[in-house]
Structure 1
Amino acid sequence: MNQNMTELNELIEITRDGQHFYQHAMAEVKDVELQHLFRDMAQAKTHIIQALSVKVAAHQEQPAQGGTLAGKLREMYADTKARLGDTDAVYVDQLDQTEERILAAFEDALTNAEPDVRALLAIELPKIRACHERMHRLNHGGQR
């Protein structure tokens, strides 16, 4: 597998971490507006995963099917921390940090990518930034 496809698969895994975490958090929070937001964010991640997977498959490679250990550990940490405090606030904070991780990974990948992969990342990056901004504003006292 060439370096660009390996990098895309890593982005798929990191994005899938976010998708799974939003789906999990949606079931854990009580606030209906947060549930709707988390559903929307999980769907946004699904669309990004699909776009990256199509590119990997177009290069006759197998798209990543799972997430990362770091993503699972963050989810477990949030579950534990939520039992000790404000569940909604804990998940918002941890999902904000997950968005930071996803954004950083996409920005890093953009710097080393070949032109066709760079074009795909340039299309997906505004979606990643929008998700990041939305969670960051929410976590730091903004609106949903």
Structure 2
Amino acid sequence: MNQSMNQLNELIEITRDGQHFYQHALTEVKDTELQHLFRDLAQAKTHIIQALSVKVAANHQQPAQGGTLAGSMRELYTDTRARLGDPDKVYVEQLEQMEDRIVQAFEDALSAAEPDVRALLAIELPKLRACQERMRKLRGDL
């Protein structure tokens, strides 16, 4: 597998971490507005994963199917913290950090990507930044 496709698969895994985390969090929080927001943000991640997967598959490679160990560990850590405190606040805080991680990974990849991959990342990055901003605003409101 070439470097560009490895890079895209890493981004798929990191984005899937966010998708899974939002899906999990929406079952853990009680606030219906948060549940709706988390569902929307999980869906946004799904669309980005699909776009990246299409590019990987078009290059005759297998798109990544899972997430990362770091993503699983963050979810476990958050579940533990949520049991000890305010679940809504804990999930919002941790999901905002997850958004930061995803955006940083895309920005890092963008600077080193080949032109065709750079074009794809440039399309998807504003969507991720919008998700990140929604979480930042939400965290600031809590």
Partner of 2:44: 44
What's the % identity of the aligned pairs? 77
TM-score (normalised: structure 2): 0.99
Partner of 2:140: 140
1:1-144 → structure 2 map (5 Å cutoff)? 1-141=1-141
Q: Which amino acid aligns with 1:4?
A: S
Kindly provide the CA deviation profile for residues 33-90 of structure 1, in whole angstroms up to 9, marking residues without a partner as x.
Answer: 0000000000000000000000000000000000000000000000000000000000
Q: Which amino acid aligns with 1:123?
A: I
Q: Which runs of 5+ in 2 are unaligned?
A: none
Q: Which amino acid aligns with 2:26?
A: M
Q: Which runs of 5+ in 1 are unaligned?
A: none
Post-superposition shift, 1:140? Answer: 1.6
Q: Which amino acid aligns with 1:138?
A: L
Post-superposition shift, 1:141? Answer: 1.9
Displacement over 4 Å in runs of 4+: none
- Taking only aligned residues, the RMSD between alpha carbons, in angstroms, comes to 0.7
Structure 2 distance, partners of 1:139, 1:129, is 15
Structure 2 distance, partners of 1:141, 1:29, is 16
